[in-house]
Structure 1
Amino acid sequence: AFRVFAKTDNSVYTNSYSTNGEFICPSSGKPCSCREGKVHKSECLECSAGSATCGEHRPISYNEIDGSLYKEKELIFPPELVLKNNLPLKLHGFGGISWYRPLNLKHLLNLKSLYPAAKLVVGNTEIGIEINFKSAQYPILISVSHVPELNVLSIKENGLEIGSSVRLSRLQEALQEVIAEREIHETSSCRAISDQLIWFAGKQVKNVACVGGNICTASPISDLNPLWMAARADFHIVNTKGSIRTVHAKNFFLGYRKVDLAQDEILHSIFLPWSRHFEFVKEFKQSHRREDDIALVNAGMRVYLKE
């Protein structure tokens, strides 16, 4: 076991175990002379196991396919877990809570038709707080993190299509790629959203929180919702029958934590159009701390100059 997990740099184990001129074997923890040359059984039985000297700890790795010995690679993540197919899940918890994980949009819409009041979950960054600190009760939870139709990130001719389950960190990476590749006048909205995401919570939160969850929470201190409105974004909404309607972002928010979304509907995707010539979008956020803090005031601003 020691040889398997030993580092390739033997100096960590061989150069720092000398006391009063005696070398301490890193395997047995006892004084021995195995550092000076080959190991003799009478001197260090522990070090001679496996026909390797104490000073020659070799990393052992295995082939990802058949488990045969590799010489160059370190230990790998179990391939069985990497290749394992996802399955739809239905779990039951304390207090009658049921948790579902559909794997496609059709299954999700069927669940939504059966449980219209069910809460959709991806990162649990908002619902978890409501349950733990506000004593909210949600008997039916549906995880939409594995629905491919809601994880789309597609560059269109006239804009960017963003699935509602896309993680914020993934959105930030996609925006940076778009900014680097497209004309500068087309990406004013993208730059504003990307810059705002820098100050949006912490990296751990952005790795699990999704775009749609932040939109549908309709928090008055949301960092992104003012920008969706300023950038002329459209929200695509699908009902349990599969019909899709489009709502302008500025018309989607009806009031404090109220949105134009019926119980049999879910937010499918967001369409962010490219900015036009002489159109400029800018973000603003003021908070107590510069990083990882909720906003005191935030805004999304757009100026369009006509010729």
Structure 2
Amino acid sequence: PSSGKPCSCGDHNILNCENSFGATIIAEHKPVSYSEIDGRLYNEKELIFPPELALRNVLPLKLYGFGGIKWYRPQKLSALLDLMSLYPNAKLVAGNTEIGIEMNFKNAQYPILISVTHVHELNVLKIKENGLEIGSSVKLSNLQHILLKVMTERDVNETSSCRAISEQLKWFAGKQVKNVASVGGNICTASPISDLNPLWMAARAEFQIINSKGHIRTVCAKDFFLGYRKVDLAQGEILLSIFIPWSRRFEFVKEFKQSHRRED
């Protein structure tokens, strides 16, 4: 109002206040809403994710970049293994949080890049009778959600490892990073300051590894890390999945992070 006082109409459906000329304006306020399909109307402060992008069919990609770089994005494990057989020195990309730094700041050259983000078999999350199976391309944010589900549904004695990993993920980078960073990428980077790799070992986790011919072998987490940024992966092999057994009775796993600041 022109008087400078707050509007005292008090009705959320009717706007009744004075304009600068002293006239009274009465207008009906109709809140708008949106659906998950039609995002043209909304009543939230933040815009929703574009429905057209959510409904778009995801297709395999083969792109060519500057300097002869080739980028592949297969959707099936068989297609990924064929590419690994054809390009044994190809670099696998998930969240690109490590490879992007190497290419931009360390001048690393990777002529063949294969994105594994859309391979169905690598995005599996299964709650089994004896533990939890996690695909290597599962995003850290999705891992957080399944861990919370497990902790509410399973006996507390069985979820000590899950609880420790869930608590550690709270301090693992920001939400945007966790939305793209993968479980397998963090493991295979084998960073000495990894927040999760010590927990995989403490939780008696097992890693399933598959080669370009489809042969699968299992390695305990404690034996997978060979040294500084070195892991037990031969040429043409990839990390397929991670298996966490349920904690045993009187078995306790606890996370602890010591740093100048808790958040990455």
Is the shorter-chain TM-score for this pair beyond 0.5, marking a shared fold? yes
Counterparts of 1:71-82 in structure 2, within 5 Å, are 80-82=52-54
Q: Does residue 198 of structure 1 match 2:158?
A: no
**Structure of higher RCO (CA pairs closer than 8 Å, 6+ residues apart):** 2
In 2, the alpha carbon distance for the partners of 1:140 and 1:91 equals 10
Q: What secondary structure is seen at the aligned counterpart in 2 of 1:135?
A: coil
Q: Is the 8 A contact 1:237 1:265 kept in 2?
A: yes
Aligned to 1:144, which of 94, 116, 127? 116
Q: Does residue 175 of structure 1 match 2:154?
A: no
- Percent identical residues: 73
Cα offset, 1:157, TM superposition = 0.8
In 1, the alpha carbon distance for the partners of 2:82 and 2:155 equals 42
Cα offset, 1:219, TM superposition = 0.4
Q: What secondary structure is seen at the aligned counterpart in 2 of 1:208?
A: coil
What do residues 120-162 of structure 1 show as CA deviations (whole Å, max 9, x unaligned)? 1111111111111111111111111111100001011110000
- CA change 1:72–1:220 in 2 (3 A) is closer
Q: Is the 8 A contact 1:61 1:76 kept in 2?
A: no
Q: Does residue 281 of structure 1 match 2:225?
A: no
Unmatched tracts of structure 2, length 5 or more: 1-11
What do residues 210-251 of structure 1 show as CA deviations (whole Å, max 9, x unaligned)? 000000000000111111111110000011111110001111
Name the residue aligned to 2:86.
Answer: 114
Cα offset, 1:36, TM superposition = 4.0
Q: Is the 8 A contact 1:153 1:161 kept in 2?
A: yes
- CA change 1:62–1:259 in 2 (3 A) is closer
In 2, the alpha carbon distance for the partners of 1:234 and 1:190 equals 14
- CA change 1:73–1:194 in 2 (3 A) is closer
Name the residue aligned to 1:96.
Answer: 68
Counterparts of 1:1-307 in structure 2, within 5 Å, are 18-19=19-20, 21=21, 36=25, 55=27, 80-291=52-263, 293=264
- CA change 1:140–1:276 in 2 (3 A) is same
In 2, the alpha carbon distance for the partners of 1:181 and 1:220 equals 33
Which entry has the higher C-alpha Rg, 1 or 2? Answer: 1
In 1, the alpha carbon distance for the partners of 2:104 and 2:31 equals 46
What is the letter of the counterpart of residue 100 of structure 1?
Y
Cα offset, 1:82, TM superposition = 3.5
What is the letter of the counterpart of residue 150 of structure 2?
V
Cα offset, 1:62, TM superposition = 8.6
CA RMSD of superposed structures (Å): 2.8
- CA change 1:231–1:145 in 2 (3 A) is same
Q: Is the 8 A contact 1:98 1:140 kept in 2?
A: yes
In 1, the alpha carbon distance for the partners of 2:256 and 2:35 equals 51
- CA change 1:201–1:113 in 2 (3 A) is same
Cα offset, 1:77, TM superposition = 6.6
Q: Is the 8 A contact 2:19 2:25 kept in 1?
A: no
What is the letter of the counterpart of residue 121 of structure 2?
E
What is the letter of the counterpart of residue 258 of structure 1?
K
Q: What secondary structure is seen at the aligned counterpart in 2 of 1:128?
A: helix
- CA change 1:190–1:64 in 2 (3 A) is closer
The count of residues paired between Structure 1 and Structure 2 equals 250
